[in-house]
Structure 1
Amino acid sequence: MELEVCELAPSDWQRMPISAVCERFTSGGTPSRKVPEYFTGLIPWVKTQELTDGLLQDTDEHVTEAAVAASSAKLLPPNTVLMAMYGATVGQLAVLARSMTCNQACAAMVVDSKKADYRFLYYQLLAARQQIRSLSTGAAQQNLSGTQIKQFVLPFPHAELQTEIADPLWQLDRRIDLLRQTNATLEAIAQALFKSWFIDFDPVRAKAEGREPEGMDAATAALFPAEFEESALGLIPKGWKTGTFGDLAELAKGSVNPLTAPEEEFEHFSLPAFDAEQLPVFERGETIKSNKTRVPVGAVLHSKLNPHIPRVWLPSRIGAHAVCSTEFLPWVARRAASTELVYCALTGSAFEASVRALVTGTSNSHQRVKPDQVAALEMILAPVAVSDAFTRVVRPLLRRVGENRLTAKALAELRDSLLPRLVSGKLRLPEAQEQLEGAAA
């Protein structure tokens, strides 16, 4: 099927189906979850919610070679172009930064470098996404098939021009990817500090052994005791307490029906928005078809749906008309805690494991946790002075994460404005370069 981008491209560009420029067109598979060992490997395993456009550096889950051999999953080389075929993510894209495998909901296009630039194919698909999504079919959810995708006909100029067109767009995507990597590093630093202070009690252990705690000034070190004491949860720092997550945060309640304010603009924190770029979507009330939960300032959003896919959202800013999916639990820090401390508690690996153990529902796609169960999870509570010191260190890191997301969004918007004109041959390359230089200023 010839896509609409063919009508816009110069007549001397060759029209070819995707299959003609690929040395391999395939999909993937899901190793059996009845064999937990399959998910203890080093091979990144891609799910469609991880296709967020641009380079894909890593995945949430990793599988073993045995898992690949025992399933329909296949090893894919770097520069493979992936497209989501099913459901809410249909049409989403990514380019593999390294060798990975994927599930059956991804179409995988291994481009023949003698016939096309993999980046040019990626950008053609990105430019055609709206039409591609309109071609998906299905009553319960919108789906594409691999047969459909590989028959899509796109315009391809000569190899040198493909590269010239892809280069400026790729520069923007690499800058976006760098911001994402920076954010991952900042998040890892915050989580490592939380684990060191509140899970492993490294400063207390150091002082108990007669050493100075690492990475902190004397005033901060003085906040930690030099010994442990017994508790219902085992040994804890002396003077600290045992409690629950509910002692750190309370659940904000308040339902709103946006349809009652059809002209009002809502800041909508939805599951798809989280999966895309962790930035809310601004929508008029008339377009939001179901009840939502109000999001108060300082809230941390924690998804109760499918906890095997952790979704914890620390909004960079919250407006007066912020609402979220009822699948999110909006937790607000109590006086003895902070938004950042609540966020780091929710994203800790031990806490995530405890939440997963609470699930109800037999289907992997419809498992949920109850808010009162999350609130009742046991925790060790530090004195307010220690929590405040942690917040002073971590708050600038997590604020920068939010700022980087906004910068990445601005770069993506510039890319998307250049994209249709470049891949259709309507924009001269010097003009595109000028706009890139303006964005870098």
Structure 2
Amino acid sequence: MSEWREYRLSEVIEKFIDYRGKTPTKTAHGIPLITAKIVKEGKILEANEFIAEKDYDSWMTRGLPEINDVVLTTEAPLGEVALIKDKKVALAQRIITLRGKKEKIDNVFLKYYFQSKDGQHELQSRASGTTVFGIKSSVLQEVPILLPPLAEQKAIAGVLSALDDKIDLLHRQNKTLEAMAEALFRQWFVVEAEESWEEGSILDLIELVGGGTPKTEVAEYWNGNIGWLSGGDITDNHKSFVINSSKNISEMGLNNSSAKILPENSLVISARGTVGKFCILSQPMAFSQSNYGIIPNNSKNYFFTYLLLNYAIEELKSSAYGSVFDTITTTTFRDLNVSLPPKDEITLFEKSIVGNFIKMKANCFQIRSLEKLRDTLLPKLMSGEVRVEM
């Protein structure tokens, strides 16, 4: 550790680009606008807000971003961080863009520092505010950072980046596999649908299963070995397979509630609040009463069922109702009409796409293993507990 040295952030950062206090005129398309809402889990997600190209020069007067600059959210939420990968982007409020002095700090290392427990602690401990917790630019500049020599910084960043690159590759592969299956579904059951196929309720093809929640005050019902999905476990980032749940229940909890275990490859869909988020179970799991379980009707065509729901989901969500929060019920499903292909056609289709989903599931388990390895290494590398040979 004698080679490591502590600096203030202002000593190693060449550029602090801060657009707080300004609000750009937004358009439906144009230059992507990086907002705090799309900086998540070390990445910049696809932009959903833009500014007009003609406004770019007049807006970006406080500094232009460069590739591998670090963007850091300063409030709502505080501490999300990512690297800029496209130079032609606009910067919004609630983020500060950092560019390190090349002779002192590696930008990729800086990103991982702020993702580490130590980096997050330094930010959170300096946050202020009554309604929204945030950090001021002047305070951020005084944040301490412990740095190894530049060559070791790059070696550390290289190890962590290699893991993240592999994770990203597996995510992209899964998107491609799923897109191929979706295209085949549309070809078979939309473009080439037979006129002789009857139309009926989606409940002619699927079965809904209600969930349940063991009593939270009974400790023996919880922390068992049965995965239990709540609505928060189903996110837009995990539309296909869910590998594990944030909470587990016990056999006693299962037997003393309306919770049920669904088999592997069943679906779970959120039915209250943010309705219509759904996933495939990578292993048998139970789920809360705010969700529905979905299994194929009298068959094992789980992946056809997933693609059918994916095709019909927007219509299903548009039929949600409720005065306080949106809800979908058995009636919502019953009123959703779809084409009813013959069972042998569905089974033949299932056989043609099952390989895609088997590969996707294997990739999801590998992603989880790589994420665990990265998250284990990150604090050890950032503290110098584990050193990287150069």
Fold-level match, TM-score > 0.5? yes
Displacement after TM superposition at 1:263 (Å): 4.8
Matched, 1:408 2:367: yes
**Aligned twin of 2:180:** 189
Matched, 1:109 2:97: yes
Matched, 1:251 2:208: yes
Q: Distance in 2 between matches of 1:294 and 1:395?
A: 25
Aligned pair in 2 of structure 1 residues 102, 337: CA closer, same or farther (>3 Å)?
Answer: farther
Residues 265 and 282, structure 1, Cα contact 8 Å, conserved in 2: no
Residues 329 and 371, structure 1, Cα contact 8 Å, conserved in 2: no
1:183 is aligned with what amino acid? Answer: N
Displacement after TM superposition at 1:406 (Å): 0.8
Matched, 1:120 2:86: no
SS at match of 1:427: coil
User: What fraction of aligned residue pairs are identical, expressed as a percent?
Assistant: 19
Residues 305 and 369, structure 1, Cα contact 8 Å, conserved in 2: yes
- 1:399 corresponds to which of 333, 355, 358: 358
TM-score, with length taken from structure 1:
0.68
Alignment of 1:20-99 (within 5 A): 21=13, 23-26=15-18, 38-39=27-28, 43=32, 48=37, 51-53=40-42, 55-56=43-44, 59=46, 62-66=48-52, 77-82=66-71, 91-98=79-86
Q: Which moved more, 1:94-103 or 1:381-390?
A: 94-103
RMSD: 4.1
- For these two proteins, the number of residue pairs brought into alignment is 366
Displacement after TM superposition at 1:253 (Å): 1.2
Matched, 1:279 2:246: no
Alignment of 1:414-429 (within 5 A): 414-429=373-388
- 1:299 corresponds to which of 247, 261, 266: 266
Displacement after TM superposition at 1:397 (Å): 0.7
Residues 169 and 419, structure 1, Cα contact 8 Å, conserved in 2: yes
SS at match of 2:8: strand
Q: Which moved more, 1:183-192 or 1:43-52?
A: 43-52
Matched, 1:13 2:2: no
**Aligned twin of 1:333:** 296
TM-score, with length taken from structure 2:
0.76
1:172 is aligned with what amino acid? Answer: L
- 2:222 corresponds to which of 253, 262, 278: 262
Aligned pair in 2 of structure 1 residues 31, 299: CA closer, same or farther (>3 Å)?
Answer: farther
Q: Distance in 2 between matches of 1:257 and 1:133?
A: 38
Q: Distance in 2 between matches of 1:30 and 1:242?
A: 50
Q: Which runs of 5+ in 2 are unaligned?
A: none
Matched, 1:312 2:267: no
Q: Please list the CA deviations of residues 270-304 of structure 1 after superposition, one character each: whole Å capped at 9, or x if unmatched.
A: 44444466432354559x9xx99544114212234
1:127 is aligned with what amino acid? Answer: S
Q: Distance in 1 between matches of 2:36 and 2:340?
A: 36
Aligned pair in 2 of structure 1 residues 103, 258: CA closer, same or farther (>3 Å)?
Answer: farther
**Aligned twin of 1:211:** none
SS at match of 1:405: helix
SS at match of 2:15: strand
Residues 36 and 95, structure 2, Cα contact 8 Å, conserved in 1: no
**Aligned twin of 1:198:** 189
SS at match of 1:426: coil
Aligned pair in 2 of structure 1 residues 370, 171: CA closer, same or farther (>3 Å)?
Answer: same
Residues 70 and 107, structure 2, Cα contact 8 Å, conserved in 1: yes
**Aligned twin of 1:383:** 342
SS at match of 2:366: helix
Q: Which runs of 5+ in 1 are unaligned?
A: 1-8, 202-235, 434-441
Alignment of 1:130-169 (within 5 A): 131=121, 135=125, 143-145=133-135, 147=137, 152-169=143-160
2:168 is aligned with what amino acid? Answer: D
**Aligned twin of 1:436:** none
Displacement after TM superposition at 1:346 (Å): 2.1
2:97 is aligned with what amino acid? Answer: M
Q: Distance in 2 between matches of 1:85 and 1:374?
A: 42
SS at match of 2:350: helix
